Amino acid sequence: MSSKKADIKINNKSTREVSKERLHRITKSRKHRVRTTGRVLKYGSKSFVRNTWLSIAAIAIMAITLIIIGATVIATSAMKTAIAEIESRVDISVYIKQSASKEKIGEIVSKMTDLESVTAVNTITPEEANRKTIEDLIASSNITDEAMIKELKEAPNALPWTLNIKLVDLSDTSELENFVENDASMQNMLDAQPPSYANKNRDAIDQIAHVMNRIQLAGLIAAGVFAVIAILIVFNTIRMAIFSRKEEIYMMKLVGASRWFITGPFVVEAGLYGVASAAIAIAATYGVTYGLKSRLETVITPTFDLMTQYWFLVAAAFLLGGIILGVISALLATRKYLKM
């Protein structure tokens, strides 16, 4: 009798082992993985459609988060364009005595161009400076008397050579100042009018840079706050979906369903929230940027052109951001529930 019981136990044990091996073999097969993934996607899509109002709330907050992040990046890029535009129009002027020869000016310009901090040197002759000064005076004073204009043009020219110098960084003039004050080619060549190292546009550039930093900080803080809100909303949405299907999940755990099969649909649902919110954010961002293009053409156009040229990268960034927000929320929700 005892031998029969022992045989039954051995048979039961072998049967269990065979069943486990078979189940393991089935779950490891490619066909099973494909079928399981298909079912996960199907259940996740159904849940996304089923919870309409909760889905709309989650998508709206996620879209706002992505729009704020996009607006911060665009504003930063536009500010950098504005600074570059101002700096391209600003130069430093060094004045050389009118009596200097063209050869001497050529030597000075050659040495200045070799400085690492200098990008370009534009030479204005005394004659060109005089002509430009007279034209500006006539235009600003509305002088129409031909005799007076003739006298102005025939008056002695007392203007010096002007070297307009563009720097890599307007805030760093130390190398140029050192050259002007100490280089042998500059000895006794400076005009009485001092170089314009301190430019009146420097304050405007510094102010724009300060505003840009403030916008970046405010955008990052706002994006962080809305990201947390979005994660909490999606987290609660997924948890409500889990509680509404808790008996179904319990049965799946009893029959040995894998963790991925249980959590996968909720991750897919949250991922779809991210895709939908990214689509809304992309449309809003491009629409607003295009609307601002006509009003702030010089500042916005370069950024909008980049967005148009690399639209696939912009779309991928929004999609990735939306999906990451959704997936993180779903994983947190399902992980907490499965632990319980």
Kindly report, residue by residue over 40-94, the tens digit of the pLDDT: 667 666 766 676 777 788 888 888 888 888 888 888 888 777 777 776 666 788 8
Alpha-carbon torsion 173, 177, 180, 183, what sign? negative
pTM exceeding the 0.75 threshold for the entire prediction? no
Topology of the domain comprising 91-198? Alpha-Beta Plaits (3.30.70)
211's CB contacts (< 8 A; 6+ apart) are: 79
Tens of pLDDT, residue by residue over 276-308, are: 999 999 999 888 888 887 777 777 888 888 888
pLDDT lower than 70: segments of the chain: 1-41, 43-45, 47-49, 51, 87-90, 152, 170-171, 197-206, 208-209, 249, 252-258, 336-340
Residue 291, both tokens: 């609307």
pLDDT confidence of residue 145: 73
Take residue 139 and report the two structure tokens written for it: 């235009």
Would you state the structure tokens that stand for residue 24, as one six-digit string?
């393991």
The pLDDT score that the predictor gives to residue 206 is: 67
The first and second tokens of residue 177, run together, are 């100042």
Distance, in Å, from the CA atom of 122 to the CA atom of 125, rounded to the nearest integer, reads 10
pLDDT the model gives residue 49: 67
119 token code pair: 């990008």
Q: Which residues contact 110 (CB under 8 A, 6 or more apart)?
A: none
- 166, 113 in Cβ contact below 8 A? no
Q: Which two tokens stand for residue 325?
A: 């927000």
Strand partners, 231: none
Cα separation, 196 vs 61, whole angstroms: 52
CA–CA separation, 92 and 132 (whole Å) = 18
Q: Where in the chain is the domain with CATH 3.30.70.3040?
A: 91-198
The token pair at 158 is: 């007392």
